[in-house]
Amino acid sequence: GAVVSQHPSWVICKSGTSVKIECRSLDFQATTMFWYRQFPKQSLMLMATSNEGSKATYEQGVEKDKFLINHASLTLSTLTVTSAHPEDSSFYICSASRTGWGNTIYFGEGSWLTVV
Amino acid sequence: DAKTTQPPSMDCAEGRAANLPCNHSTISGNEYVYWYRQIHSQGPQYIIHGLKNNETNEMASLIITEDRKSSTLILPHATLRDTAVYYCIANRDDKIIFGKGTRLHILP
């Protein structure tokens, strides 16, 4: 079964509103989680690293005020897309792993966001 | 992370073994080789990973060359459900950077 779970699986929101996506590690603690975005027919693009108890680290070109990341516990990271616009419509995916070199990295099922 | 090179697409007949190559000639000693696949509209699925030795699990086998500069993922008996994009990654931490992968088509 899934060891990393995302919620919701899909969401439709109106332009200008904010939407929150959750990523949970189900049977392990993850001090670090990662958020990706994927547009149709493209590969996954890393957006940011979510660090438990500290600020997220964003990849170049990703707006930190647009994509708010909170990692308040060792099993939960949230991504909030603020003031969403149609161009933010995408497939958002998170990943997490048990701490340690060479450990398996698991991905969530993904969350489809459509902004209308 | 070391750069990996994969063919953009491959075909394989159903029931045959699918052999997916990956070149990682700049891999460093502490980087593992990971394989993931992504079926349409789903999150990436872990397949297998290894450091030096060949590995096998219920899904696939991973053959790593002795110099570690390339590897092959083997799906022993491909089915239509194995149609997906397969990603080969050389990595030493949790942060995975995806390339374009290989789109594997299983032909009935």
Q: Which residue is it, tokens 């099993």?
A: A75
Q: Look at residue A88 and give its three-state secondary structure.
A: helix
Contact B32 A105 (CB under 8 A): no
Contact call for residues A36 and A48 (beta carbons, < 8 A): no
Would you call A34 and B101 a contact, using CB atoms and an 8 Å cutoff?
A: no
| Res A19 pLDDT > 70 | yes
CA triplet A105, A64, A40: central angle to 5 degrees? 60
CB contact, 8 Å: A21 with chain B?
Answer: no
Distance from B41 to chain A by nearest Cα, in Å?
8
Cα–Cα dist A39/A91, whole Å: 6
- Residue in A52, A40, A32 with CA at minimum distance from that of residue A95: A32
Given a cut of 80, is residue B2 above it in pLDDT? no
Q: Residue B41: what pLDDT?
A: 84
Answer yes or no: do A107 and B34 touch at CB < 8 A. Answer: no
Which chain B residues are within 8 Å of A29, Cβ to Cβ? Answer: none
Which among B95, B33, B31, B47 is positioned nearest to A31, based on CA atoms? B95
Which of B94, B96, B100 is the best mutation test for A, with the most CBs of A within 10 A? B94
Measure the CA–CA gap between B21 and B79, rounded to whole angstroms. Answer: 19
Categorize the per-residue pLDDT at A1 as very low, low, confident or very high, splitting at 50, 70 and 90.
low
Q: Mean per-residue pLDDT for B65-82?
A: 96
Q: What angle do CA A98, B41, B97 make, to 5 degrees?
A: 45
Model confidence at B92, in pLDDT bands (50, 70, 90)? confident
